Each structure stands twice: as structure tokens, then as C-alpha cells.
Amino acid sequence: MAGRRDKGQSLRGSRIAIAIVIGVLLGCVIAFFFPNGLINPTPPVQNRRIGKSNFQSGSLPCESSERIKMLKSEIVSLSEKNSELNKQVKDLTEKLQLAEQGKDHAQKQVLVLGEQHKAGPFGTVKALRTNPTVVPDESVNPRLAKILEEVAIQKELIVALANSNVKEMLEVWFSSIKRVGIRNYLVIALDDQIVEFCKSNDVPVYKRDPDEGIDVVGRTGGNHAVSGLKFRILREFLQLGYGVLLSDVDIVYLQNPFSHLYRDSDVESMTDGHNNMTAYGYNDVFDEPAMGWARYAHTMRIWVYNSGFFYIRPTIPSIELLDRVADRLARQQNSWDQAVFNEELFFPTHPGYDGLHAAKRTMDFYMFMNSKVLFKTVRKDAKLKQLKPVIVHINYHPDKLRRMKAVVEFYVNGKHNALDPFPDGSD
């Protein structure tokens, strides 16, 4: 009995195990052929969307936090890149400005020098001194432009400023010009009396449009005050493209000066010097015994250019010179125009000061003669008395009219003792 019972229980267990195995196998077969199950009901679209929304809503706080961190990191990175780009832009801007300056300087050099050249053999190299002229701009003063077209010869003319205070000297001045046969000259009248006086003597005259700053000085100013006005007035002549031989009226013309100009410099001026050293420059040795071995210091000296007679070409450096002098005379009320004129021409660039880059030439002091040379040297030398200068400028002596007339008597009328009554200097 016990044996049969054990055998029946064993058989029942085997059947159960077989049934389990068959069930597992059947499940695998169904799972393989029906992955979505034997029944695959399609849920409503709305339910699926709701489910998806619920899922996204559940994950949104996590994603937002990570996104914010990522954006912050990107902002920091972009800020650093922006700072670096700003620095690069600044550096490139500075380089561009330097390049533009270099380009401008190079263009100016090309204008003056033309094509680049190799340096020649030793002793053959010579730099150019002549700056290019400006492009004429008639819009600055159409009325003056029309007058200059009629008066100037080869774009050059003599220009003098005058008011009624110098009327008698003016007459000697333009009479000498006419005697020589010079036709290209113009008087800038600073009052109506001079306008009428010039017209009555068939002298080319021009009166500027009203300008109170100039007119007050022009009507009542003395010789130095009127002389200072020329630096403002001449600017328009240069802008119009004309070379100007600026002349004070205390000058006697004996030859045509345009036949004796070199025209290779911005400014070509007569000198106040009275010999080769003072006119053209010399090495002046300064002695300071207290320095012992180094007691001797070498200095360079030259006597000033005369701002009452100079030829000025229509170039950028020439116009800059006029502007500099006019500006200083306007700001420094007690300045002398001739001193300022020379300082701007000769002072070099140094810390705190940008010097003028203008070419200059000193005129022959025997041909363009000042009154110190004439009365102190020439009239006492038999050979020099035979020399006929281009002009004589009575700049060293206050009795200008009398000496001007004596110059005419000596050089024009042949009166050999006409200069004798005058002292070397002034009384």
C-alpha cells in the first residue's frame, strides 16, 4: 500500500512539472509571434497624450535645472569670448590707425618723391626739397579768384597790405614796381582811402569783405600791427593755388624779383643778416670756464628771416605755417610777427612741441638787400656800390620814406652821394 501511494505521488509530480514546462514553452511561442499580446486594444489618442504629458511633467523639473546650468555655463563662456574679442578689436583698431597713418605718410612721400629709388653711389645722393602744391579751391573766395586770374602771371604775384598811414611809402613802392615793368602785383587795401588812391594811380587793388577782427587793425594799426594781418589774409591766396611774394611797402624795387627766385622751397625769404655768417648761419662757440675741460660748447646761430619780404609757395607746409603764426598772434597779444614767423619755421620737434616740416631758403643778402647792409657796408665799398640789387628793404631804420627816396636817387637817378647824409643806424 505504501509503495503504490509513493508511486502515485511521484507520477502526479512529474505531470505537474511537464505541465509547467509546456506552459513556459507555449508562453515563449506566443511571446515570439504575438509581441503585443493576443489582445491589442488601441487606447484613445487623448489618453496617450495625457499619459505622455504626465510623463513629461514629471521629468520637467529635472530637465529645467540641467538646462539652466548649461545656459549659465554657456553665458560665462560667451562672456569670456566677448572680452577676448573686444581686446582683439581694440588691438586691430590701433594697428589700423597706425597703418592709415603710415599709408598717409607714404602717399605724401610718393607725391613728393614719385617712384621709390635705390640709393646711388656715395656722393651722388641728393634729397628733394620741393613739396607738391595744393589743388586750387576757388570756392574759398570766388571774387578774389577772378581778380587773381587777371593780375597774376604764371600763378604768381607780389602782394602788399596798406592803409592810409603808409600812403606816401606806398606811392614810392608801386612807382618803383611800375618803373621796373612788373605787372603782376596787387595791393590789399585795408581802408577805403587806399582803394581810391590805388584806383586813381592805376594800381591793382583788392579790398576784402568786411571782417571786424581784421578791419579794426587794418584801419588804425601801425606798421607792426598791419604786418601781423598778412598771415591770415594770405591763406586764401595759397588756397587758390597762387605763389605769393609778400612785400612790405618800405621796399624799393630795382629789378624783377621773379627772375631771381629758385622756387624749390616752401618759403624763400630775405634775411636780416648783414654778412655771410649772420645771413646763412655759423658755429658760435660758447665759453664757460667753470666747466673746465668741457668749457667750450658749440651752438648754431643764424639771423632771422625778414617777415616783410618772402616768397611762399601754395603747399600744405606753407599754409600750416600761416595758420600757426596767425593763431599765436591772436593768442599772444604782445608777440612780434617776425619773431613768431621765425620760431615756427626753425624750432625743431621736441617733447611737447610738433615742429613744422617746411623747406626754406635764404635769399642772397646782396641781391635782396636790407638797409643795414646798404648803409653800413655797401655804400662804403667802391665795388659793392656798383652792384645793383633786386630790392632794397628799409627795415632797419625808422626814417623810412626819406631813405626810400634816397635809394631811388642813388640807384635810379645816378646821384652818387644820395646815401651819404644818413648815419649807419638811426639818430
Q: How confident is the prediction along the chain (427 residues), in pLDDT tens digits per residue?
A: 444 444 444 545 566 667 676 766 666 656 666 655 555 544 444 444 444 444 444 455 556 788 788 888 888 888 888 878 887 887 777 667 656 655 555 555 555 555 777 899 999 998 877 999 999 999 999 999 999 999 999 999 999 999 999 999 999 999 999 999 999 999 999 999 999 999 999 999 999 988 766 656 555 555 556 667 899 999 999 999 999 999 999 999 999 999 999 999 999 999 999 999 999 999 999 999 999 999 999 999 999 999 999 999 999 999 999 999 999 998 998 899 999 999 999 999 999 999 999 999 999 999 999 999 999 999 999 999 999 999 999 999 999 999 999 999 999 999 999 999 999 999 7
Helix (H) or strand (E) run with residue 160 in it: strand 156-162
Q: Yes or no: say if 235 and 260 are a contact pair by the CB < 8 Å rule.
A: no
Three-class DSSP category at 285: strand
Cell of 122: 656715395
The region that residue 230 occupies, defined by phi over 0 for left and psi between -120 and 50 for alpha, beta otherwise, is alpha
C-alpha span between 173 and 158 (Å, rounded) = 12
Contacts of 157 (CB under 8 A, 6+ apart): 148, 151, 184, 185, 186, 242, 243, 244, 245
Contacts of 47 (CB under 8 A, 6+ apart): none
Tell me, what's the pLDDT at 83? 79
CB atoms within 10 A of CB 102: 10
DSSP 100-123: HHHHHHHHHHHHHH-S-----STT
Please give the pLDDT value at position 39.
54
Tell me the pairing of strands 305-312 and 368-370. unpaired
pLDDT of residue 57: 44
pTM of the model: 0.72
Q: Which residues are within 8 A (CB) of 329 and not within 5 positions of it... i.e. 6 or more apart?
A: 228, 231, 335, 337, 340
Q: For position 258, what pLDDT does the model report?
A: 98
Rg of the chain in Å (alpha carbons): 48
pLDDT of residue 33: 62
Cβ–Cβ contacts within 10 Å for residue 154, how many?
Answer: 9
Q: Nine-digit cell at 395?
A: 627795415
What is the CA angle 335-337-341, rounded to 5?
115
DSSP 353: B
Cα 368 to Cα 69, 108, 171, 383, 387: the distances in Å are 88, 33, 20, 17, 12
Which residues, at least 6 apart from 245, have a Cβ–Cβ distance to it below 8 Å? 156, 157, 158, 159, 257, 258, 261, 309, 310, 311
The amino acid occupying position 264 is D
Query: Which pLDDT value is given to residue 218?
Result: 52
pLDDT at 226: 66
Q: Is residue 15 helix, strand or coil? A: helix
Q: Residue 32 phi/psi, 5° resolution?
A: -75, -45
DSSP 28: H
pLDDT of amino acid 277: 98
Give backbone dihedrals phi and psi of 6, rounded to 5 degrees, phi first. Answer: -65, -40
Which amino acid makes up residue 302?
A: I
Half-sphere exposure of 389 (CA within 13 A, CB side): 26
